[in-house]
């Protein structure tokens, strides 16, 4: 049964995910990176991982599918923005599959008419993202990294579903085997933590891997960088040589970092730092080294 309510009496948050999928008339297609989350308990918990003080006046969901998570998020925005309990918020859902986008508009017609829901048909990697105050999404895993790094620089609270291995790399600390470019880059923008691990059985069709819900709470880093794009490029370069010393990684990756004078950076850097390997450097050490590289290495524009 579709939603035809248009006022505050509209009820959201209790739709059965299997029934939604049946009404949508099509199964998720794993060849298109579609895996519907169908476990009610997980669906109910996901919105609760937003920080208590999160502004929910304009929530963004990417990959609405048959609308099980959309339904739970509509319950959040219908309760109010978080800043003013008298006013409801807005949920924007980006869905690239035209059939599912049409279904969401029909299933939640009352929410659309009431201004609670805006369904945007398109690819989240290509279209301009609508303004948002928080994002909650079960991301398509094949493009989760690209989407995450569109979202993180916006400095908004994020609750995102990833492959568990990807999530483990996001939250890893220096010295851990999973620590790498992804760890430094994600933690540059936010405090990143795994809120919940999700088994394959929670999805239909089941993916080949376990999943995890990651909460990203935006904050400024404890260091400063003069050129964020160069910092991220420099981190990427050094981690391509993670088994080498920092000294050799700087020398060997100038084609990635864009350093015209990598040897000048080596000459200026602290010897103790140069003897380490990239996987043992804290983000603040990468930042300090990147600033030194900008000063001494004559980096070219990307």
Does the domain at 17-218 match CATH 3.40.50.150? Answer given as yes
Q: What is the token pair recorded at 93?
A: 């859902």
What lies within 8 Å, CB to CB, of 160 at 6+ separation is 135, 136, 137, 139, 144, 148, 151, 213, 214, 216
Please give the Cα distance from 2 to 102 (Å, whole number).
12
pLDDT at 213: 98
Q: What is the token pair recorded at 280?
A: 């043992």
Please give the Cα distance from 265 to 250 (Å, whole number).
8
pLDDT, tens digit (0-9, with 9 covering 90-100), for 51-98: 999 999 999 999 999 999 999 999 999 987 544 454 779 999 999 999
pLDDT at 17: 95
Phi and psi torsions of 100, nearest 5°: -70, -35
If you compute the radius of gyration of the chain from its CA atoms, what whole number of angstroms results?
22
Is cis: bond before 205, omega within 30 of 0? yes
Q: What is the pTM of this model?
A: 0.92
Write out the residue limits of the CATH 1.10.8 domain(s) in the chain. Answer: 228-296
Q: Does 29 carry a binding-site annotation? A: no
Q: Does 58 carry a binding-site annotation? A: no
Q: Does 123 carry a binding-site annotation? A: yes
Write out the residue limits of the CATH 3.40.50.150 domain(s) in the chain. Answer: 17-218
Class of domain 228-296: mainly alpha
pLDDT at 82: 47
pLDDT, tens digit (0-9, with 9 covering 90-100), for 96-152: 999 999 999 999 999 999 999 999 999 999 999 999 999 999 998 889 999 999 999
Q: What is the token pair recorded at 264?
A: 């000048």
Cα-based angle 40, 43, 49 (whole degrees, multiple of 5): 140
pLDDT, tens digit (0-9, with 9 covering 90-100), for 16-40: 999 999 999 877 667 667 788 999 9
pLDDT at 55: 96
pLDDT at 302: 56
Among 30-44, 185-199, 267-281, where is mean pLDDT lowest? 30-44
Q: What percent of the chain has pLDDT over 70?
A: 93
Beta bridge partners of 163: 211
pLDDT at 153: 96
**pLDDT band at 9, cuts 50/70/90?**
very low
pLDDT, tens digit (0-9, with 9 covering 90-100), for 227-276: 999 999 999 999 999 999 999 999 999 999 999 999 999 999 999 999 99
Q: Average pLDDT of the chain?
A: 92
Q: Does 37 carry a binding-site annotation? A: yes
The continuous run of DSSP H or E covering 77 comes out as helix 68-79
pLDDT at 3: 59
The continuous run of DSSP H or E covering 69 comes out as helix 68-79
């Amino acid at each position: 049964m579709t939603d035809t309510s248009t006022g505050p009496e509209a009820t959201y948050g209790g739709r059965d995910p299997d029934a939604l999928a049946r009404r949508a008339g099509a199964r998720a297609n794993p060849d298109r990176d579609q895996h519907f989350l169908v476990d009610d308990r997980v669906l109910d918990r996901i919105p609760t991982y937003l920080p208590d003080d999160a502004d929910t006046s304009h929530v963004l969901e990417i990959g609405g599918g048959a609308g099980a998570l959309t339904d739970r998020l509509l319950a959040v925005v219908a309760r109010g923005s978080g800043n003013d309990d008298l006013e409801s918020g807005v949920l924007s859902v980006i869905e690239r599959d035209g059939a599912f986008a049409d279904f969401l508009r029909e299933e939640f017609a009352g929410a659309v008419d009431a201004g609670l829901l805006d369904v945007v048909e398109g690819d989240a990697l290509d279209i301009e993202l609508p303004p948002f105050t928080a994002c909650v999404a079960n991301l398509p895993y094949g493009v989760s990294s690209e989407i995450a790094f569109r979202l993180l620089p916006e400095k908004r609270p994020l609750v995102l579903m990833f492959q568990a291995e990807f999530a483990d790399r996001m939250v890893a600390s220096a010295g851990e085997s999973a620590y790498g470019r992804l760890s430094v880059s994600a933690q540059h923008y936010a405090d990143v933590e795994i809120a919940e691990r999700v088994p394959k059985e929670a999805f239909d069709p089941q993916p080949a891997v376990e999943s995890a819900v990651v909460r990203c709470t935006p904050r400024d880093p404890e260091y400063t960088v003069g050129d964020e794009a160069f910092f991220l490029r420099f981190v990427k370069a050094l981690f391509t040589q993670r088994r080498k010393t920092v000294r050799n990684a700087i020398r060997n990756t100038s084609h990635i970092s864009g350093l015209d004078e990598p040897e000048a950076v080596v000459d200026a850097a602290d010897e103790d730092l140069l003897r380490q390997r990239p996987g043992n450097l804290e983000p603040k050490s990468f930042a300090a080294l990147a600033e030194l590289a900008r000063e001494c290495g004559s980096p070219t524009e990307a």
